Structure 1
Amino acid sequence: MQEIGILGAGLIGASWASFFAAQGMKVRIYDVNEDVKYQALSVAESNLERLVKLQLLSGEAAGAGLQNLQLADSMKELLTDVEFVQESVIEDYAIKADVYRQFEQFAPESAILASSSSGLLMTRMQSVLQHPGRALIAHPFNPPHLIPLVELVPGEQTSTETVECVRDFFQQLGKYPVVLNKEVPGHIANRLAAAIWRESLALLDEGVASVEDIDAALCQGPGLRWALMGQHLIYELGGGTGGYQKFFDTIGASFEAYWEDMQTWTRIPESAKQKAVAGTQKYLEQQSRAEWGAWRDEKLARIQQILKEE
Structure 2
Amino acid sequence: MIACIGAGVIGGGWAAYFLARGHDVTAWDPAPDAGDRLRTIVEAARPALNSLGFPDEAWGGLTVAGSLAEAVADAEFVQESAPEDLDLKRRLLADLAALTGPGTIVASSTSGFPMSDMATLAEDPTRLVVGHPFNPPYLIPLVEVVGGSATSPDVVEAAAAFYRRLGKSVIEMDREVPGFVANRLQEALWREALHMVANGEATVEQIDASITEGPGLRWPVHGPCRTFHLAGGEGGMAHMLDHFGPSLLAPWTRLEAPELTPELRNAMVEGTATDRSFGELVAERDRAVIAIRRAVEGTRSANAGRPGPSGRSWSSDEPPAPTR
Normalised by the length of structure 2, the TM-score is: 0.88
Which residue of the other structure, out of 49, 52, 62, is the alignment partner of 1:51? Answer: 49
* Residues 32-69 of structure 1: per-residue CA shift (max 9 Å, x gap): 112023310232133224422xx21343xx2342x511
SS in structure 1 of the partner of residue 218 of structure 2:
helix
The residue number in structure 2 matching 1:234 is 227
List aligned pairs for 1:102-117, cutoff 5 A. Answer: 102-117=95-110
The residue number in structure 1 matching 2:288 is 299
1:89 shift after superposition:
0.6
> Structure 1 vs Structure 2: percent identity of aligned residues?
37
The residue number in structure 1 matching 2:264 is 272
Structure whose residues are more often helix by fraction: 1
- Unmatched 5+ stretches in structure 1: none
1:227 shift after superposition:
1.0
List aligned pairs for 1:14-25, cutoff 5 A. Answer: 14-25=12-23
What is the CA–CA distance in structure 1 between the aligned matches of 2:84 and 2:77, rounded to whole Å?
20
Q: CA separation of 1:102/1:262 partners in 2, compared to 1, >3 Å: closer, same or farther?
A: closer
The residue number in structure 1 matching 2:130 is 137
* Residues 47-99 of structure 1: per-residue CA shift (max 9 Å, x gap): 224422xx21343xx2342x511111111111112110000011112211221
**Mapped pair 1:289 → 2:273:** no
What is the CA–CA distance in structure 2 between the aligned matches of 1:90 and 1:242, rounded to whole Å?
47
Q: CA separation of 1:87/1:108 partners in 2, compared to 1, >3 Å: closer, same or farther?
A: same
Letter paired with 1:144: P
Letter paired with 1:4: I
> How many equivalent pairs are there?
299
Letter paired with 1:16: W
RMSD, aligned CA = 1.6
* Residues 264-290 of structure 1: per-residue CA shift (max 9 Å, x gap): 336434332221111112xx04x2332
Q: Which has the higher contact order (CA 8 A, sep 6+)?
A: 2
* Contact 1:202–1:272 (8 Å) recurs in 2: no
List aligned pairs for 1:24-173, cutoff 5 A. Answer: 24-52=22-50, 55-59=51-55, 62-65=56-59, 68-173=61-166
SS in structure 2 of the partner of residue 255 of structure 1:
helix
Q: Which moved more, 1:96-105 or 1:151-160?
A: 96-105
What is the CA–CA distance in structure 2 between the aligned matches of 1:97 and 1:289, rounded to whole Å?
32
- Unmatched 5+ stretches in structure 2: 302-324
Letter paired with 2:270: A
